[in-house]
Amino acid sequence: MEQAAAGDTSTIGHDADTLDEVLTEPVRRDRLIVQRGVFASLSPRVPEKMYVHTKGDAASDRYGLQLADGATAHTNTYFGRFPATFWQRWTDVKTVNLQLTYGCSGTAKFTVWASDARGRERIVTVETVSGSGELDLELPIERFVDGGAMWFAVDASNGSVLVSDARWTVAAPERLRPAAVVICTFNRADDCTVTVGTLASDDGAMADIEAVCIVDQGTDQVRSRSAFAEVADKLGDKLIYLTQPNLGGAGGFSRGMYEITGSAKAEHANVIVMDDDILCEPESVLRLNAFANMTVQPTIVGAQMLSLSNPQVLHVSAEREVLDEITAGALTPGARMGIDLVKKKQDMRFDAGWNGWWTCLLPAEIIADCGLPIPLFFQWDDIEYGIRARYAGHPTVTLPNAGVWHADFYLKDYDDWARYFSIRNGLIVSSIYGRFDGNDMSKYLFRKISELIVSMQYGLAATFIKAAEDFLAGPDFLYDGGQSVLKELRELRDRYPETKPLPAAQVGKESDPHTQMSVWQFEPDKKREGLVLLKRAVQQFAGKVDRRTVTVPAHFAAWWHVSLFDKAVVTDASQNAVRVRHRDKDTAVDLAKQAAKVCWQLRKEAPRMKTVWQEALPKLTSRENWARLYGIDG
């Protein structure tokens, strides 16, 4: 299938010009469902204990619980907890109602529990019922400022109990915000079809979603899949399907934001951006949207990222940037990382500096105030936007108990063309918002490139150097939205053999997995890393390295280990391939000279580059610039 031309808005369902018809205000109601009692996942790979814990003879389905005599169940689980601390901090809601339908052949005891910031539990209320009926418990949202959640438990006595249609509700606002979902995709037609289909299958989650906008930037298009026809039919007039050339994640999400906020009825809309390859939990979309309807000011509300390979593991509670170290993700106070959510809870309230766009809600008022994303093509675009919003006084909340599953970052190899965008875009964002001290930044970058050189990652060192050079060239290289650099990166990295991933069996003759190494136990003290790095560089230059064949596992592939050898077969972090690194003194010296030159330039030019990038930001993020990139009238 041919690549779509710029401005091609061929559609299924509504097109972008009819968004005014689609973005109607949701129907007014007295109570707003902010969280449903969901007792099972739509995916068989997600354990039930992420939703409900049962004991005894009990069974659950998506929205129902059935307990035999003596059985118990509680929702002190990831998806079962009501995040009361966030509701007390970010909304003016004073009470929440737990409502459900029950049927008993004996009696049922319902207990509402609460926790505090330290995880200490307390009983809020207890209600015993018999027969069948509706339970409606009004619960105060109080004593939760620093942390804590609420959940309920049910015990069956003298007979069975059936629980269904559980929901947490609050008094609805006078006006509800129309919401639209934007999914950006590039040659992941099957993944995108499944993701959109999963969302569309949940009528409750879709009730207040007025539009689903798919921005397809690939040549293998979503609409080519037969299964997508059923999804399109299910969405009907809510579906907007746009095609355009590949402008990266920034260009794809920006297109949806551009079209939706261009509607006359989008002044108070919620725009929910979502990756194409996640394992989608529609309930999380409902929770984000409901929460954003109740915050005291327009607020970016993000879902947490859960591990796709181990669905009960949390990636990180909430993150903030460390711009002086070009680091995107650092834990915010109280946040947790890599925990097993079945065993551990997130009780302390944590505040976020930004939220990744695997699933994230952006109010139209914030987009109107801050502009559209910066055309960074790939990486840091969502981070930059979160920082920009924060500097403009718009908070970001990463909402616990609202998560989606995403491919694990630790399984992505570091030696990749994407690292160019990580460094280049990190420098851009740091120059705009950070201290950007030329001395500190140049030292840090030179140190990182030196570590790559001594570990014989010459292609990756060259990738870092090009990233710094392009940053120093100024904003003009973003004129095309970032496409042209991809070819340049491929050509650059092709010059370095160690960038090529190879099957492990193919390089068996070049490595010996039985070589016994005692060096793996060594790890330099943080205060001595600089001296160790200098020593390794001298050893590499002089050839005073271990000449034995060696296989280095990914978890031991730190520079202080690999640099001890003349040649090393290093496992890729993806665990699918290896890379053969071979010491090359001439290449190392040449790259060191290039690194010294670009870092010296960075040191001198830092103040000027800070001004250049800050002044360029409004133009780069304007509707006019994005309209030019899309080839459409602004």
Give the amino acid at 520.
W
Between CA 29 and CA 36, with CA 33 as vertex, the angle to 5 degrees is: 155
Give the amino acid at 88.
Q
How many CB atoms lie under 10 A from the CB of residue 421?
24
**Dist. CA 41–CA 311, nearest whole Å:** 11
User: Is 381 one of the annotated active-site residues of the chain?
Assistant: no
What residues form DSSP beta bridges with 95? 140
Largest CA distance in the chain: 85
Q: Which residue from 121, 96, 124 is spatially nearest to 110, judged by alpha carbons?
A: 124
Pairing type for strands 327-331 and 314-316 reads unpaired
Pairing type for strands 239-243 and 209-216 reads parallel
* Alpha-carbon distances, residue 240 vs 115, 256, 348 (angstroms): 43, 9, 40
How many CB atoms lie under 10 A from the CB of residue 170?
22
**Dist. CA 372–CA 253, nearest whole Å:** 9
DSSP string, 142-204: -S-TTB--EEEEEEEESS-EEEEEEEEEEEPPSSPPPEEEEEEESS-HHHHHHHHHHHHT-HH
* Alpha-carbon distances, residue 210 vs 170, 200, 235, 355 (angstroms): 21, 12, 10, 23
* Both structure tokens of 181: 């979902």
**Dist. CA 161–CA 387, nearest whole Å:** 49
What residues form DSSP beta bridges with 164? 64, 101
Which DSSP state fits 4? P
How many CB atoms lie under 10 A from the CB of residue 324?
14
Pairing type for strands 64-67 and 72-74 reads unpaired
**Sequence-separated (6 or more) residues with CB below 8 Å from residue 420:** 463, 464, 466, 467, 485, 489
Pairing type for strands 31-36 and 161-171 reads antiparallel
What residues form DSSP beta bridges with 14? 240
**Dist. CA 130–CA 188, nearest whole Å:** 51
* Alpha-carbon distances, residue 377 vs 247, 251, 323, 486 (angstroms): 6, 6, 19, 10
* Alpha-carbon distances, residue 9 vs 29, 354, 632 (angstroms): 35, 31, 10
Note whether 95 and 137 are within 8 A (CB): no
Name the active-site residue from 116, 347, 381, 382. 382
- Give a three-class secondary structure readout of 368-426: HHHCCCCCCCCCCHHHHHHHHHHHCCCCEEEEEEEEEEECCHHHCCCCCCHHHHHHHHH
Catalytic residues: 382
